[in-house]
Copies of this chain bind each other. A is one copy, B any other.
Amino acid sequence: MIVVLKQNVAQEQVENLKNWIHSLGIETHVSVGKIHTIIGLVGDTSQVDMDLVGSLDIVESVKRIQEPFKNANSKFHGAPLVVDVGGVKIGGGHFQIIAGPCSVESEEQVCYVAECVKKSGAGLLRGGAFKPRTSPYAFQGLKGEGITLLQEAKIKTGLPIVSEIMNISHLEMFEPVDVIQVGARNMQNFDLLRELGKVRKPILLKRGLANTIDEWLMSAEYIMAGGNENVILCERGIRTFETRTRNTLDLSVIPVLKKLTHLPIIVDPSHALGYAHMVKPMAMAATAAGADGLMIEVHNEPAKALCDGAQSLTPQAFDDVAKAVFQIRPFACKFNENE
Q: Which residues of A contact B (CB under 8 A)?
A: 2, 4, 13, 16-17, 20, 29, 31, 33-36, 38, 40, 42, 46-47, 49, 51-52, 54-61, 63, 65-66, 68, 132-139, 166-167, 169, 185-186, 188-191, 194, 208-210, 212-215, 218, 221-222, 225, 238-245, 248-252, 254-256, 259, 272-278, 280-282, 284-290, 303-304, 306-312, 320, 323-324, 327-328, 331-332, 334-336, 339
Contact = CB atoms under 8 A, between A and B. Distances in A.
Given A256-B245, A289-B285, A55 B212 contact: no
Contact of A210 (B59, B137, B239): B239
Contacts of A284: 288-289, 331-332, 335-336
> Which of A137, A167, A185 has the most chain B CB atoms closer than 10 A to its own CB?
A137
Q: Indicate how many identical chains form the complex.
A: 4
A136 B243 CA distance: 22
A312 B310 CA distance: 41
Report whether over half of chain A's contact residues are helix, strand or loop; otherwise say mixed: mixed
Contacts of A133: 190
Nearest to A183: B188
Contacts of A331: 284, 324, 327-328, 331
A213 B242 contact: yes
Contacts of A65: 4, 35-36, 60-61
A55 B36 CA distance: 24
A26 to B, nearest CB: 12
A191 B218 contact: no
26 contacts: A2-B63, A4-B65, A20-B303, A31-B31, A36-B40, A55-B304, A56-B304, A56-B309, A57-B310, A58-B307, A134-B188, A135-B221, A136-B225, A166-B189, A166-B190, A185-B189, A210-B210, A212-B244, A242-B250, A244-B256, A248-B250, A249-B251, A277-B339, A284-B331, A285-B289, A324-B335
Contact of A335 (B134, B185, B280): B280
Nearest to A133: B190
Contact of A307 (B16, B49, B134): B16
